[in-house]
Amino acid sequence: MTLSKLHSDGMSFDWERLVFEVSDNVDGFVSVDNWSVLGMTIRSGVPCAERRPQPLSVSMARRAIVPIAPRCPYPCTVATPKIVLFYVFTPLPDPEAIRLWQHRVCESLGLRGRIIVSSHGINATVGGDIREVKRYVKATREYAAFRDADIKWSDGVGEDFPRLTVRVRPEIVTFGVPDEVEVDENGVVGGGTRLSPDELHTLIDERGDEVAFLDGRNAIEAQIGRFRGAIVPDVDTTRDFVGLLESGELDHLKHAPIVTYCTGGVRCEVLSALMRHRGFTDVYQLDGGIVRYGERFADQGLWEGSLYVFDKRMSIEFGSPTVIGRCVECGTPTSRVVNHPDRNGRELAVACEECVPTGA
């Protein structure tokens, strides 16, 4: 129904306070913010001088009183896509209940992304318009065990995930050793010493070249960005790290200071614990991962290149970094990662636009 239709039916209007009946509302009321009603854009303006009613596409469902100031014209609401990344290691006695709750919250807000729940905790990456993402974060923090979650925000590009998936699995990050991982209310038991970005620099100032960086991600991720001088294992999946640790390949570092790092920190929570279980004595983990380090130092620190991310963007930058990735086909410098089999048949590859055009 439109305001023009109501007007033509002989209804009078108080332009300072109109009564709408809208199909989408929260807690029985509708707020008007920058001339949008819960994301429904008002497309037709009202000339200030005339104040004549113009068509508004607002469907009728539940009664709500909405104060409206006589401003003109009504600007369109512009979506602001955001992505949040977080994890919490904490004992969850009923992962299925958490899965149902998280799915219901995301679905009701129209959010997409990937959420993994296990008896060890939760690992989530969720995207959508900033207003709905904020509501999701608020709802998630209402659960006591998730109240202090370190929520990492970044800009999205819109429809960053093809769908919403919320699953229960044995581990929230799959190393393939769920029975080896012990979790209490403080997180993973026996993990490496946490280092903030500044504490990492202090460690390097104190111990210099003794410090080794171990990339806790898949090899394809490190092709476009990594810490300077880092050890990058040739692994295709997180499961491969257990075999690497047990192969003896890294035994020369068992008593050296080793800093593990990954995208947001979740993989290194477990990796550092597995290393200590296998005799590595001086293990650290970069708290908050590359994301927090990049936020702190941008392209002025020890990080080189771009950061691979698991959504439509494929990669993000901190500042204006040097491009260290190389196209798998022609060798041109690029940070572009695409879903395209390389010469080894892998699903992801670093490839320039000329060799693998968008949509190819």
Pick the catalytic residue from 262, 268, 352, 355: 262
| SS3 label, residue 353 | coil
Is 262 a catalytic site residue?
Answer: yes
Beta bridge partners of 226: 304
Instruction: Give CA–CA dist 318/220, Å, rounded.
Output: 19
Between the CA atoms of 346, 232, 264 and 202, what dihedral angle is there, to the nearest 10 degrees?
Answer: -170
Q: Of 149, 85, 124, give the one whose Cα is nearest residue 294.
A: 85
Per DSSP, 26 falls in state B
Sign of the C-alpha dihedral computed for residues 324, 328, 333 and 337 taken in this order: negative
**Long-range Cβ contact pairs of 52-57 (< 8 A, separation 24 or more):** 53/2, 53/3, 53/4, 53/6, 53/7, 53/13, 54/3, 54/4, 55/2, 55/3, 55/4, 56/2, 56/3, 57/2
Query: ∠ CA 265-308-230 to the nearest 5 degrees?
Result: 65
The amino acid present at 96, given as its one-letter code, is: E
Residue 186 CB contacts under 8 Å (≥ 6 apart), including other chains: none
Instruction: Give CA–CA dist 189/183, Å, rounded.
Output: 6
Beta bridge partners of 243: none
Query: ∠ CA 13-17-22 to the nearest 5 degrees?
Result: 90
- Strands in 119-198 per DSSP E: 121-129, 152-155, 164-168, 183-184, 187-188, 193-195
Residue 172 and residue 120 in contact, taking contact as beta carbons nearer than 8 Å: yes
Residues acting as catalytic residues: 262
